[in-house]
């Protein structure tokens, strides 16, 4: 039963709004999952996570990467070893402290991330084409407001998949 000071109509509106966002989320998660199939023959999901973190944050040292992934540095190191061997990740000594290794994407790594992003852009574009043109601007504004409220940054960085937190 609703609390005496709560408006049952407001609760119904909240549920309706949440359900609408959940429906859109389901579509977006489907697009994101489908995009991963474009690169799954090249990397595992944990390896993709490494690449996305480095793509979104820039070069990182191993400890910063492990912390961002919430894993032990030895686990992060093993993933990086495989990515270096695959030519997707570079590992260089830090000019400030040779004990630290700096991890960065190679051209091949950037290309893989680009493939992922491009697949998502195309798929989202196809969905937007099915939205009546008269409603697209309102949809875009609503999505920007939602992203901003969720703490996401610019549209150019929106592909980060939330793995930057």
What is the residue range of 99's domain?
43-130
Residue 42 CB neighbours (<10 A)? 14
Instruction: Return phi, psi of residue 70, to 5°.
Output: 60, 45
Higher pLDDT, 1 or 124: 124
pLDDT tens digits, 10-52 = 677 789 999 999 999 999 999 999 999 999 999 999 999 999 9
pLDDT of amino acid 130: 96
How far from each other are the two terminal CA atoms of the chain, in whole angstroms? 37
pLDDT tens-digit readout, 51-73: 999 999 999 999 999 999 999 99
Q: How many helices (H) and strands (E) does the chain have?
A: 6, 3
Question: Shortest CA distance to 79 belongs to which of 53, 52, 48?
Answer: 48
The reply to whether 153 falls in a domain is: no
User: SS3 of 90, please?
Assistant: strand
Separation in Å, CA 19 to CA 16, 25, 124, 138, 143: 5, 10, 20, 18, 15
Q: Which residues contact 101 (CB under 8 A, 6 or more apart)?
A: 61, 62, 91, 92, 93, 94
Whole-number Å distance between alpha carbons of 13 and 160:
31
Q: Which residues pair with 60 in a beta bridge?
A: 103
Residue 83 lies in a domain: yes
Does the CA dihedral 34-35-39-44 come out positive or negative?
A: negative
DSSP secondary structure letter of residue 161: T
Question: Please, which pLDDT band fits residue 85 given cuts at 50, 70 and 90?
Answer: very high
159 located within any domain: no
**Structural domain contains residue 105:** yes
Q: What is the pLDDT of residue 163?
A: 42
Q: Is residue 110 part of a domain?
A: yes
Q: With respect to residue 36, please indicate whether it lies within any of the assigned structural domains.
A: no
CATH number at residue 121: 1.10.10.10
pTM: 0.77
> If we measure between CA atoms, which residue out of 76, 83, 48, 8 comes closest to residue 163?
48
Domains: count for the chain: 1
The answer to whether residue 5 sits within a structural domain is no
Asked if the structure places residue 61 within a domain, the reply is yes
Classify 27 as helix, strand or coil: helix
**Each residue of 107-119: pLDDT tens digit?**
999 999 999 999 9
């Amino acid at each position: 039963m609703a609390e005496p000071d709560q408006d049952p109509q407001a609760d119904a509106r909240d549920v309706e709004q949440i359900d609408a966002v959940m429906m859109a989320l389901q579509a977006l998660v489907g697009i994101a999952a489908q995009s991963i199939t474009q690169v799954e023959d090249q990397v595992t999901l944990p390896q993709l996570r490494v690449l996305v973190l480095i793509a979104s944050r820039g070069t990182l040292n191993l400890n910063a990467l492990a912390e961002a992934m919430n894993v032990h540095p030895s686990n992060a190191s093993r993933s990086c070893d495989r990515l270096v061997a695959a030519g997707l990740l570079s590992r260089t000594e830090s000019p400030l402290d040779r004990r630290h290794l700096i991890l960065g994407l190679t051209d091949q790594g950037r290309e893989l991330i680009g493939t992922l992003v491009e697949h998502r852009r195309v798929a989202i574009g196809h969905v937007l084409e099915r939205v009546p043109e008269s409603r697209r601007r309102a949809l875009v504004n609503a999505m920007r407001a939602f992203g901003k409220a969720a703490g996401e940054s610019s549209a150019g960085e929106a592909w980060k998949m939330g793995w930057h937190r």
